[in-house]
Amino acid sequence: MDDQIDFAKVRKTLGITQTELALKLKVAQGDISNWEAKKHRPSKLARRALAPAIARLIEEHEAEASNRENAA
């Protein structure tokens, strides 16, 4: 199973900065920067912990977008 996380894609999908993503995931902004630049990657254990948090952020983003569309 490929458990790689494309942090840049996640961040762009959410429309947020590296700093904002770092705050939401409770990691350092430098970690996000390094992961996006592929200088480092989170450990397998960290990726397993981050994956559900990222999925939740995307679900919340999609729900907010849907709510905005329904309100329009």
Domain boundary assignment for the chain = 7-71
pLDDT, tens digit (0-9, with 9 covering 90-100), for 13-27: 999 999 999 999 999
Asked if residue 67 lies in contact with residue 57, where contact means CB atoms within 8 angstroms, the answer is no
CATH superfamily entry for domain 7-71: lambda repressor-like DNA-binding domains (1.10.260.40)
pTM of the prediction?
Answer: 0.83
Asked if residue 21 lies in contact with residue 7, where contact means CB atoms within 8 angstroms, the answer is yes
Q: What angle do CA 65, 70, 72 make, to 5 degrees?
A: 95
pLDDT, tens digit (0-9, with 9 covering 90-100), for 12-63: 999 999 999 999 999 999 999 999 999 999 999 999 999 999 999 999 999 9
